[in-house]
Amino acid sequence: MAKYIFVTGGVVSSLGKGIAASSIGLLLKSRGFRVTMQKFDPYINVDPGTMNPYQHGEVFVTQDGAETDLDLGHYERFIDENLTKDNNHTTGQIYESIINKERKGLFLGGTVQVVPHITNEIKQRITRLSSKQSLDVVISEIGGTVGDIEGQPFLEAIRQLRLDLGPKNVLYVHVTLVPFIPTSGEFKTKPTQHSVKELRTVGIQPDIIIARSLKRIPRSARDKISLFCSVETEAVIDAPDVKSIYMVPLNFHEQDLDKLITAKLGLPSNPIDLSAWRDFSQREEHRTEIVRIALVGKYTGLKDAYKSVLEALEHAAIAEGLKIDLVWVESSELNEDSLNKLYDVDGILVPGGFGTRGIEGKIKVARYARDKGKPYLGLCVGLQVAVIEYARDVCGLSDANSTEFNAETPHPVIDLMPEQKNVYRKGGTMRLGSYPCVLKPGSKAQSCYGKEVVFERHRHRYEVNPAYVEKLQASGLEVSGVSPDGLLVEIVELSKHPFFVATQFHPEFLSRPLNAHPLFATFIKEAHEYVLRAQIADSSTHKT
C-alpha cells in the first residue's frame, strides 16, 4: 500500500510550498521509491485555464491536455515524471462531480453535504492515483493557507485519512514562515505557533515543520517551535531563502529530512543517490559568462506568468555553462524607438500570449530579429507573430493578421480551424496537450532534436492558415515541423538566419533540469555565439 504525505501551508502564501513538496518528492525518488505528486486547489474555478496570469501565474499543461496549476510544473521538473489531469484537483471539479451525481439521482434521496460527500470525493481523489499505478509514496499539496474558509473540506479529508489508513501510512508536513525582525534582531516563532494551533483545531497535528525564513534560523528558535508545536527539534527543518530553488532538496537532505520521513512512514532505508542533482547544482553555481536574453511579453516582471519558460531558459543556460541576464521587454509599449532596447541583447524570446494587447509590438520584435540576424525563439503566439510579420513584409500581404487580433483582416494567415469555429465555451476548449510533430529532414529543428518525430504540448486555439502555407514557403519561410497529416504547421524557421525558430507548441513544458530542451539549448548556444561574433567584430573594428 502507498504511503501518503500531505503538505499544508501556514501564515502566508507564496512560501514555496510547491518547491518544498517537490524537494521531498525528489529526495524520496532518489532513494529509489516510486513517487507521484498532486495538488489540491481550493478555488471554485474548474481549472486555472480561464484565470488571468496576474491572479494565477502560468497555466501548466500536462501531456494529456489538462490545464493545471504551475506547481505541477515544479513537480514534473523535480521528480522527472509526466503527470496527468488526475494530479490536479480543484473545488470546482470536486463540486462539479458531486452535483453531476446528485442530478443523476445517485444519492438515493439523501441530503448531499460537505461531510461526508465532498470529503469522500476528496479522499477518493487522493487515493485514486495509487489504485491506477504502483506507487510507494503519494505527496499531496493542499493549496492556500491553513485557516482559509475554502480550504476546510480538504483539511477535514486529510484528517480523516490518517484514521482510515493508519498513522504509519500518513504524514503531515506543514510549511510556515518564521519572520526575522531586524530592529530586535530576532526570529519570531509566534506565527508558526498560531498556524499549528489553527491546524490542530481541525484535528491535525503536524509531524514535520518546514520553517521558511530569510536566513538560517538558530537552534533556539527550532527548539521553541518544537516545544510549542509538539514536533521534535530534528523535525523542524530550517528552510532559509537560497539562491536557487534547485538547492532546496540538498538543504533538506543535509538536515536528514528524507531519513526522518522514511523512518516516520516505516519505509525501508534505501541508500540515496543525489549525484546527478549535485552535479547540476555545482554547474549552476559555477557559471561565469553571461548571455542576455530579451523576454517580450505583456506581463513584464511577473515571473510566475512565464514560469516554465524561465526555468527552461535556466536549464539550457546551465547546460551551456552560461548565466542568463534577462531583459524584460513590455510588448504593449513597443514602438520603433524603444526597439533600441533590443540592440544590446543576444537573443530574443517571444513566449505564448492571448489577446490583442501588445501584438503589434511583438510583430515589430519578430521583424527586428529577422532583419538583424539575432537569435529568435518564438513560442505559440511567438510563431504566430513571426508568420504575420513575414506575410506582411516578405509576401507583400500588408494587412496580414490573425483573426484573433483582427477579425476583418483581408489576409487571415493565422485563423481558427473549422472545428474551432463553433466552439463558444471558453474552458478546456483549445488544442491542448501532447501532439506529434514530424520534422523536416535537414532543417534546423530536426538537427536540434536529432529525431524525425517529436511529441510536444499545445495550448492554443488558432493555427497557421493552410491556405497561405504555400505562399509563405515559396517566399522563403521554411515549415520545418508539421502534424502527421501535414495539415497543421508546428514549426517555422528561416534557413538563412543564424537561429530563427518558432513553434506552435510550448516546448518549455518538457524541459527538465537534468535534460534541457533541445530548442532552448540551441537557442542559448546560438545567442552565446552571437555575443562571440559581436566581440570579434568589435575588436576587429578597433584594430582598423
The C-alpha atoms of residue 238 and residue 119 are separated, in whole angstroms, by 33
242 assigned binding-site residue: yes
Give the number of other CB atoms < 10 A from CB of residue 201: 10
Q: Exactly one of 508, 517, 526, 528 is catalytic; which is it?
A: 508
- The answer to the question of whether 148 is labelled as a binding residue is yes
13 labeled binding residue: yes
Nearest approach, Cβ of 53 to ligand GLN (angstroms)?
11
284 classed as catalytic: no
Helix, strand, coil share of the chain (percent; to 5): 45, 20, 35
Task: Flag whether 16 is marked binding.
Answer: yes
Lookup result for grid cell 489538462: 66
Kindly give, in sequence order, each residue whose CB lies less than 8 Å from that of residue 18, ignoring residues fewer than 6 positions away: 39, 70, 71, 74, 75, 141
Asked if 64 contacts 88 with a C-beta cutoff of 8 angstroms, the reply is no
CB of 453 to ligand GLN, least distance (A): 22
Strand, coil or helix: what is 342?
A: helix
Q: Rule CB under 6 A: which residues touch ligand GLN?
A: 352-354, 380-381, 404, 459-462
Annotation marks residue 508 as catalytic = yes
For residues 41 and 404, which CB has a smaller minimum distance to ligand GLN in the complex? 404
**Does 18 show up as a binding residue in the annotation?**
yes
Query: How far is 96 from 99, CA to CA, in rounded Å?
Result: 5
The answer to whether 260 is a known ligand-binding residue is no
Nearer to ligand GLN, 129 or 491 (CB): 491
Q: Across 298-444, where does the E strand assignment appear?
A: 323-330, 347-350, 376-379, 401-402, 412-416, 431-439
C-alpha cell at 525: 548556444
| Residue closer to ligand GLN, measured from CB, 209 or 482 | 482
Least CB distance from residue 380 to ligand GLN, whole Å? Answer: 3
User: Is 485 part of any known ligand binding site?
Assistant: no
Smallest distance, ligand GLN to C-beta of residue 315, A: 20
Of 213 and 503, which has the nearer Cβ to ligand GLN? 503
506 is catalytic: yes
Calculate the CA 337 to chain-centre distance.
Answer: 33
Nearer to ligand GLN, 79 or 366 (CB): 366
**Residue 240 DSSP code:** E
The grid cell for 239 is: 528552510
Q: Which of 506, 517, 526, 528 is catalytic?
A: 506
Our CA angle for 25, 17, 24, nearest 5°, is 15
- Cβ-based neighbours of 182, under 8 Å, separated by 6 or more: none
CB 94 to ligand GLN: min, Å: 27
List the catalytic residues: 380, 506, 508
Q: Which residues are annotated as a binding site for ATP?
A: 14-19, 71, 242
Q: Which residues are annotated as a binding site?
A: 13-19, 54, 71, 141, 148-150, 188-193, 224, 242, 353, 404, 461
Q: Which residues are annotated as a binding site for UTP?
A: 13, 188-193, 224
Q: Which residues are annotated as a binding site for Mg(2+)?
A: 71, 141
